[in-house]
Structure 1
Amino acid sequence: MLSVRESTTREVRVLDGLWRLYVPSPAEDALALQQGALPGTREVPVPASLNDLFADPAVRDHVGRYWYQRSALVPHSWAGERVILRFGSVTQSAAVFIDDELVTEFKGGYMPFEVDVTEQVSPGASFRLSVAVDNRLDNTSIPPGELGVNAAGKPSQEYKHDFYNYAGIHRSVYLYTRPHKFIEDVTVSTDIEGGTGVVNWSVEVKCTDDQACGRQDLEVTVLDEAGNLVAEGGSENQGSLRIADATFWTPGVGGMYQLRLRLLQDGEVRDEYIQPFGIRTVEVREGKFLINGREFYFTGFGMHEDHETIGKGHSNAHMVQDFELLSWIGANSLRTSHYPYAEEFMDYCDRHGIVVIDETPAVGLNWGITGGIIGGSTGGTYEEGHVDAGTAAQHRLEIERLIARDKNHPCVVLWSIANEPDTAVPEARDYFEPLVELTRELDPTRPVGYVNVMFAPYDRCTISDLFDVLMLNRYWGWYVNSGDLESAEINWTAELEGWTQKYPAKPIIITEYGADTVAGLHSIFDQPFTEDYQVAYLEMNSRVFDKFDSVIGEQMWNFADFQTKTGYARVDGNKKGAFTRDRRPKAAARYLRGRWHSLAPAAYGRRDSHSA
């Protein structure tokens, strides 16, 4: 799906701001609430999560639909154009109404969706926009959950992932115009031949009525970052261009071009779309991860879209602060754990050369654990009502949507199709093999991986051979051998030796390792939860990583403390961050800053040697 971009043929209005909010009781007929103004006077900001905004537990703890509403005006000048309504994300699902008419429904809390509302709105007039935001998760959701009723007779929600189930309209809402004949999609791939960049494109054109579907020509040009024309091509819907002395997209630097596409009819521009792209190659070869033919060593974090007050709502100010801290600490990469991040976030990574492991929302596909803690629900993972055919169908959709949205981002170098699923059982292979095949079919240009949980080591995992890269979440010294770093180091080393021997051609990225740490808590001993222990823990892990050439990256868990569901194991959230939730550095941040800057003498961030 193409991002919303203004051009000479497309106008955009942003519908962010304060919307009306109503939280219905379970007894109310929720689907009739769009008829007229919502009851009450409560307002809610868009984009933002709503859970932390109100001093009312009935809002925070509500299970079911929340109702959002506002009015919007269609400009007179939009007469004759198609009018499109687009949401960046609504978590976890949405039903959208124009006045009293249901215009679309969408399930999937981290992906954009849009609907043509030309027939429901009128240029020069206002309309009432109502959205039923539903936070419920079941086994057909990605991530999955279980619904029930508590002892008091109220709806309850259980889920398997270790981050809070924030709800709301989390990203911007747009109203934009599109011509009747328009560029629906574009796919860009690139190659490098010496100093020449090769740019391949494929364009899909669509029309909304027969009158618009006459003959057209496609004008293709490439502009550099300064807006200079550097290449131009033919009029076909697919083709290739060559750019001599090209600027290649480089980790830590960036380097972007723009593919300008114009649909021409009778010499006039009918539609224009500008697609940013970068020229780079990605390859896994002989146990190494290569970007532009050079070895790359990942340093960075698993992260979360999580901030105080706004929860998972996108904020450009918070985003820039986080990227400044990533630069300060020496991180060259991140994983979008455990869902796709905002489009603005991905664009920023493109422009600034941040390498991204792009992950689907497939977290919690493991009935034996709950939020990283042993003690999940009874029963197996791959059975009816748990992870079954309905789960797989939604998982397939999430992979298709992720690749459709992010395929043109040069920052994305690896697809992660799941985090910590149950892969120590034979049924996992039947579930995942078709999803791996789908991912490769949709995008043959990038490696494919998944993130392996500690309970499925090299001698038990049934699916690791299907993937290009091994990504391991390991907590030796925390969940296992807690407080005993000497034993943890021995056991961790032995496990990595096992992975390396079984899969000698597959590079290994440590995608999670961490210890919960209370900021300001210290001890002269290696005491868990202290800042001192967190640093000692990281030092131990670093020694283990440096023993293995097969380890080509380390992404600490987590960038910052984040909110989780309540429970005795999570007092005010997960505290494994190098930074607190309000972005103050712990002692671990300075340790990582020293290590990662020393490992990155060049922009590619790779180590010159594996010495400690």
Structure 2
Amino acid sequence: MKKSFLVLCVLCFLNLNLRALQSEVKKFLFNGNPTLIGLDAGMFQDTETRFKVDLSGKWLAKIDGEKKWFEVLIPSAYDFTGKVTFRKSFNLPDTLVRNKTLFLVAYGINYECKVFVNGQFLTRHIGGYTSFVVRIPDRILNTGENILEIQVSNELNSKTTIPLRHQVWAWRNYGGIYRDIYILVAPKVWIDDARVVYSFSSNFSILNGEVEAYLSSGEISKLFNDKNFDVKLQIFEKTGEVFITETKPLTFFVDDLRSLKIKIPFTIYNPNLWSPETPSLYILKLLVTNLGRVVDEFIIVTGFRDIKIGNGDIYLNGRRVVLKGISRHEDHPRFGNALSYEEMERDIILIKSMGANAVRLGHYPAHPYILNLCDRYGLFVLEEIPVWNVPVDILTTERYISLAKDYVSEMITRDKNHPSVLAWGIGNEFDSADEEARKYVKELVKFVKSIDNRPVY
């Protein structure tokens, strides 16, 4: 009798839980704040030649399988597993459509999304914690009203997603457009990307560096009679924007639809070095001119420091440093992982006030503003991809290794110029002692080292 009663209780419990799952509340956690602009923006500092069309605020949304559209605020996170379609209209004047280059910039959409502009497919992105940038072709844009539609799914599986399907002891797998999203408006000739590399003299009194960048163009024949463009670099201290130096202009011939790799060498004497105690930052301005007129101004905010590892110790600017830090997740009872700028800064201030000098962004790349805050407040960053608790037989497949390489490449591409980033992480809590698992480790370490010289963990 007791045994039958116990079985009945278990069945009732399972039935109640099944009903609870079936009637899962479709909950949205709203942020909706506008994207930050200016020098401290998460990505792409605003200048005289480039600006953002902010897409935050009111959108329409529809949950897969339902007919009704409803209003949501973006950024926001949805706290259930499933597919949601988001839609927003925005207006563009004729001068932008004809004379500018437009990019869609998304800081974070979890996990997979498909993007359409005016019904035309634009891009597909996989990976919920890395940012992506995609150029919007002129041919699919309208003068006046445009419709942006993003189909989002946060569904994970047990074999081919990074991370693998959500486990009860893992972090919460929110879905949605949970970070900033906007249209970046740039000129028809623009700096597409830039990397800062440098080295010091033995006593750190001289810094010799180089900015490696891509100078790209759209269809420019109707806009420029002379296709020779000058590029120079200006350097300022960020505090007070004190002018330091500038380089002589280098001239490049740019035709329609081109992308040229350019290198601009520079030297700084007696540089202020970045450290957690003195987080000195510099503004590097790349100026593109045509017949004396500024065509594009691209800004990098960065700092300079020297990291060496030897005999089990870390040396910063020639001095041994001991890491004291914590691990941080992006989650909040009100916003989910769609944190406001105020909450992010509050976190970093709290970590710094504890006496920490480092933060591990476990287990995934954070909002880009977090990296800016760590640069400014002085915190080392350990940043990693969410290859977490993956069985060896999955970890070592060519498909999974390829996915991991794509993930880590996007992370490094976005955050490579941050002085706070101490090391890149390629995963966590898998059996790295296993001989097969070492295949993954060796391949990922080799890949990371091919694109950046920081330590790998």
Q: TM-score range by the shorter chain?
A: 0.7 to 0.9
1:144–1:160 contact (8 Å) kept in structure 2: no
Q: Aligned partners of 1:229, 1:163: CA distance in 2, in Å?
A: 45
**Contact 2:53–2:183, Cα closer than 8 Å, also in 1:** yes
**What is the CA distance between 1:122 and its match in structure 2?**
2.6
Cα drift, residue 119 of structure 1: 2.3
Aligned counterpart, 2:249: 235
Q: What residue number does 2:412 align with?
A: 403
C-alpha contact (below 8 Å) 1:362/1:418 kept by paired residues: yes
Supply the distance in 2 between the matched residues of 1:215 and 1:3 (Cα, whole angstroms). 29
Please, which runs of 5 or more residues in structure 2 have no aligned partner?
1-41, 251-261
Matched, 1:220 2:240: no
- Residue in 1 that maps onto 2:178: 170
| Alignment deviations for residues 221-262 of structure 1 (CA, whole Å, 9 cap, x no partner) | 101122222011133432432222321112133110011001
Give the match's secondary structure for 1:119: helix
Letter in 2 for 1:140: T
The CA deviation at 1:161 is 6.7
Which residue of 2 is the match for residue 382 of structure 1? 393
TM-score by length of 1: 0.62
Q: Give the Å deviation of 1:305.
A: 0.7
CA distance 1:328–1:345, change in 2 (3 Å):
same
Deviations 1:130-152 (A, max 9, x none): 1111112232221123xxxxxxx
Question: How far did residue 346 of structure 1 move?
Answer: 0.6
* Shift in Å, 1:401: 1.0
Please say if 1:13 is aligned against 2:53: yes
Deviation string, structure 1 residues 548-577 (Cα, Å, up to 9, x no partner): xxxxxxxxxxxxxxxxxxxxxxxxxxxxxx
Structure 1 Cα separation of the partners of residues 435 and 445 of structure 2? 16
Counterparts of 1:75 and 1:301 in 2: how far apart (Å)?
Answer: 47
| Amino acid in structure 1 at the alignment position of 2:132 | F
Q: Does 2:457 correspond to 1:437?
A: no
Cα deviation for residue 345 of structure 1 reads 0.9
Shift of the alpha carbon at 1:325? 1.4
Aligned partner of 1:46 in structure 2 is: 74
Other-structure match for 2:90: 72
Corresponding residue of 1:90: 109
Is 1:428 paired with 2:437?
yes
Whole-Å separation in 2 of the counterparts to 1:351 and 1:75: 37
How many angstroms does 1:280 deviate by? 0.7
For each residue in 1:16-60, what CA deviation from the matched residue of structure 2 results, as whole angstroms up to 9, or x when unmatched? 1132121122xx7xxxxxxxxxx5353222112121xxxxxxxx2
Q: What is the CA-CA distance between 1:200 and the residue it aligns to?
A: 2.3
Distance 1:350 1:205 in 2: 27
Aligned residues: 396
- Residue 293 of structure 1 corresponds to 318
Equivalent positions of 1:120-519 (< 5 A) are: 120-123=140-143, 125-138=144-157, 139-145=159-165, 158-159=166-167, 162-193=170-201, 194=203, 195-209=205-219, 211=221, 214-225=227-238, 226-236=240-250, 237-365=262-390, 367=391, 381-383=392-394, 388-444=397-453, 446-449=454-457
Matched residue of 1:130: which SS? Answer: strand
**Alpha-carbon distance, 1:438 to partner:** 0.7
Question: Could you list the per-position Cα deviations for residues 375-424 of structure 1 after superposition, in whole angstroms to 9, with x for gaps in the alignment?
Answer: xxxxxx325xx752211111010111111111100000111111112223
Aligned equivalent of 1:108: 127
Q: Does 1:99 align with 2:109?
A: no
2:44 touches 2:299 (CA, 8 Å); kept in 1? no
How far the C-alpha of 1:190 sits from its partner, in A, is 3.0
Amino acid corresponding to residue 88 of structure 2 in structure 1: R
Report the Cα distance in structure 2 between the residues aligned to 1:208 and 1:414, rounded to whole angstroms. 36
Which protein has the bigger strand share? Answer: 2
1:137, 1:159 within 8 Å by CA — same for their partners in 2?
Answer: no
Task: Name the counterpart of 2:64.
Answer: 24
Q: 1: CA distance between counterparts of 2:59 and 2:169?
A: 29
Unpaired stretches in structure 1, ≥5 consecutive residues: 29-38, 52-59, 146-157, 368-380, 450-612
Match of 1:114, SS? strand
Task: Read off the aligned partner of 2:456 and give its amino acid letter.
Answer: V
Q: Give the conservation status (yes or no) of the 8 Å contact 2:323–2:357.
A: yes
Contact 1:161 1:363 in 2 (8 A): no
CA offset at residue 340 of structure 1?
0.5
C-alpha separation in 1, matches of 2:168 and 2:438: 21
CA shift, 1:334, in A, is 0.4
Deviations 1:496-515 (A, max 9, x none): xxxxxxxxxxxxxxxxxxxx
Report SS of the residue matched to 2:130. coil
AA matched with 1:437: K
- Measure the CA separation in 1 of the matches of 2:265 and 2:118: 46
RMSD: 2.0
160 and 182 in structure 1: CA distance in 2 versus 1, 3 angstrom threshold: farther
Q: Is the contact made by 2:56 and 2:180 (CA closer than 8 Å) also made in structure 1?
A: yes
- C-alpha separation in 1, matches of 2:428 and 2:93: 45
Question: How many percent of aligned residue pairs carry the same amino acid?
Answer: 26
Tell me if structure 1 keeps the 8 A contact 2:289–2:296.
yes
TM-score by length of 2: 0.82
1:119 paired residue number:
139
What amino acid does structure 2 have at the position aligned with 1:400? Answer: S
Kindly indicate whether the alpha-carbon contact (under 8 Å) linking 1:192 and 1:279 is maintained by their aligned counterparts in 2.
no
The Cα of 1:201 is off from its aligned counterpart by 1.5
Q: CA offset at residue 210 of structure 1? A: 6.4
**Counterparts of 2:305 and 2:373, CA distance in 1:** 17
Q: CA deviation at 1:289?
A: 0.4
Distance (Å, rounded) in 1 between the aligned partners of 2:160 and 2:296? 38
Q: 1:151 maps to what in 2?
A: none
Check the 8 A contact 2:179/2:367 in 1, yes or no.
yes
Q: Distance in 2 between matches of 1:66 and 1:387?
A: 32
Once the 2 structures are TM-superposed, how far is the Cα of residue 331 of structure 1 from its aligned partner? 1.3
Paired amino acid for 2:214: E
Tell me the equivalent position of 1:544. none
